[in-house]
Structure 1
Amino acid sequence: MDQMRVDRSAPTLRELTLEKLREAISQGFYRPGDRLIERTLCDQLGVSRTVVREVLRHLETEGLVETGSHSGPIVARLDPAQVEEIYEIRALLESEAARACAERATPALVKQLRDIRKEIEDAFDKADFKRVLLNTEHFYETMFTGGQKLMMHQVVKSLNARINQLRSVTISSPGRGTDSNREMNKLLAAIAKKDGEAAAAASLEHVRRTAGIAMAALAEKEAATSD
C-alpha cells in the first residue's frame, strides 16, 4: 500500500500555477484592473482551462482577483480604505511580534535575522525586487516565529498576497531602499538589544512610513486616471 501514498512534499500543478500567477500579480506583471483572459493564461502558463479557473477562484478568495458581471476576472483594484486597513493590521500585529521577538531574542535568532537583512540590502543594491520581496517575507516569518506569535503570523499570512502587492509598489519607489534599510536595521538593533519597547516603536515607524508611500502612490494613480 505504500506505493499508493500521495507525495505531499511535491507541489501539484494547481499549486505551481497558483504560485506563478500570484507572483505575477504581486510583482506587477499584471496590474490592478487588467483583464485575466483564461485562454491567454492557459497559453502563458501551459496548463488547462480547468486549472486556470481553479486558480482564479482561489486568488479571488485572497483578494487579488475580482470578477465583474461583464468584464470577467480582473486583477483587483487597490481600494484606499482596504489598503489603509491592511496597514493598520500590520502595525498592530508586527509591532507586537517585534516586541515579543526582542524579549525572547537569542544570539542565534539575531544572527538569522541579520543574515536575512544582508540578503535584502544586497537585493536592493541590485534592484532585484523579487528577491527583496522573498527575503522580506522570510524576515517577518522569522520575527513572528522568534516571538512565538504563531497565530498572529497566520493572520498576516492570510493577507500576504495583498501585502506583497503593496510592497511591490513601495519598494520600487525612488530612495525607498535606503530608507527601508535604515528603518529595518533600527528594528533589528532593538531586537539585538532585547529592547521590546524600542523594537515595537521601530516596527510602527516602519509600517506607518510604508503606508504613507503606498497611500500617496494610490492617490497619484487615481488623480492620473481621472485627468
Structure 2
Amino acid sequence: MTNSSAEGAIRVERPSKTLRELALEKVRDAIFSGHFKPGDRLVERDLCTQLGVSRTIVREVLRHLESEGLVANPVNNKGPMVARLELDEARQIYEIRAALEGMAARLCAEKADPSVVASLEEALAGIRQAYEVNDMAEVLARTTQFYETLFTSIDRHVAWGVVKLMMVRINHLRSMTIKTERRSVEGPAQMQKIVDAIRTGDGPAAERAAAEHVQRAASIASAVLQQQEPAGD
C-alpha cells in the first residue's frame, strides 16, 4: 500500500505565478519606476537577456503591456517603445476618478461604519510607512488598498470595476506624482482629510476632500507630463 503522506512530502507545488506573469510584473514595474522612460525602445533581444526568459514570453509581455497602454508600436516600424502619456488622457482619467472617488467617500461617510474607518486608517498607515522607506511599489499597492476599501465597503463593485479597468494607467500616473517634492507628506495629509470626514459622518466634506485630492494630483501630473514632452512637439 502506498504511503500517501510520503508522496505528499515530495510533491512539486505549482508556482503561484507563471514565468510570463513574473516577467510582465518586472517590465511593468520598470516602467513605473522610470527605469524604462517614455519613448525608450524595448528591444526584444535585450529584454530576453535582462529578464532571463524566452523571446516568446517577451513578445507576450509586450503585447499585454500594449493592451494596457504602457507600450506603443509606432507606425515608423522602429519597434515597441514605452508609451507617452497624453495630457488629455490624463485629464479624463482624473475627471473620472474625482467623480467616482468623491461619490464613494460621501457614501462611506453616510454609512458611518467604524470598521471602514479602521480599514482606511490601516491602508493610510501603510502608505506613510512605505514612503518612509522609499518603497514606491508599496505606496502604489497600499493606495490601491485604500481605494478598494472605499468602494467595496459601500458595495459599489461596479464603480470599483470601472476604476480597476483604468488601474494600470492610474498607477502609471501615480508612479510619477508620488515621487514629486513634498508629495510624501502632502498626499497622505489630503487622504487623512477624507478619512476624518468619513469618521465624523460628514458626506459633503468627504466628497470635497476626495475631489480636492484628485485635483491636486491632476495638477502635479499635468506639470510632469508637460516637462516630459519632446522638444519641438
Same fold (TM over 0.5): yes
Secondary structure of the structure 1 residue equivalent to 2:231: helix
CA distance in 2, matches of 1:99, 1:13: 42
In the alignment, which residue of structure 1 is the partner of 2:154?
A: 147
Q: Structure 2 CA distance, aligned partners of 1:40 and 1:9? A: 26
SS at match of 2:23: helix
1:41 aligns with 2:47: yes
Please give the residue correspondences for 1:87-166 in structure 2 after superposition, counting only pairs within 5 Å.
87-166=94-173
For residues 82 and 149 of structure 2, what CA distance do their matches in structure 1 show? 30
1:68 corresponds to: 74
Alpha-carbon offset, residue 164 of structure 1: 1.0
Deviations 1:59-82 (A, max 9, x none): 111111111132111111011111
Structure 1 segments, 4+ long, off by >6 Å, are none
The answer as to whether partners of 1:64 and 1:75 remain within 8 angstroms in 2 is: yes
Q: Secondary structure at the match of 1:72?
A: coil
**Alpha carbons 1:141, 1:153 under 8 Å: kept:** yes
Is 1:203 the counterpart of 2:210? The answer is: yes
Distance 1:189 1:20, change over 3 A: same
The 1:19/1:105 distance shift into structure 2, 3 A limit, reads farther
- Deviation (angstroms), 1:149: 1.2
Contact 1:190 1:198 in 2 (8 A): yes
Is it true that 1:181 corresponds to 2:184 in the alignment? no
Please give the alpha-carbon distance, in whole angstroms, between the structure 2 residues aligned to 1:55 and 1:78: 19
Deviates more, 1:117-126 or 1:133-142: 117-126
Q: TM-score, normalised to structure 2's length?
A: 0.88
Encode CA deviations 1:121-151: one digit per residue, 9 max, x unaligned: 1222333222211111111111111121111
TM-score (norm 1): 0.90
Q: Deviations over 1:205-227 (max 9, x none)?
A: 000011001101112233x7349
Instruction: State the alpha-carbon separation in 2 of the partners of residues 101 and 30 from structure 1.
Output: 38
Contact 1:119 1:135 in 2 (8 A): yes
8 Å contact from structure 1 (residues 123, 131) kept in 2: yes
Question: If you compute each CA radius of gyration, which structure gives the higher value, 1 or 2?
Answer: 2
Q: Alignment partner for residue 20 of structure 2, among 8, 14, 22? A: 14
2:61 matches 1:52: no
Cα shift at 1:202: 0.5
SS of the residue corresponding to residue 151 of structure 2 reads: helix
> RMSD across aligned C-alpha pairs, in angstroms?
1.9
Cα distance in 2 between the residues matched to 1:19 and 1:145: 25
Tell me which residue corresponds to 1:4.
Answer: none
Give the percent of matched residue pairs that are identical in Structure 1 and Structure 2.
50
Partner of 1:192: 199
Q: Deviations over 1:150-203 (max 9, x none)?
A: 111111111111111111111111111121121100001111122222111100
* 8 Å CA contact 1:26, 1:162 repeated in 2: no
Q: Unpaired runs of 5+ in structure 2?
A: 1-12
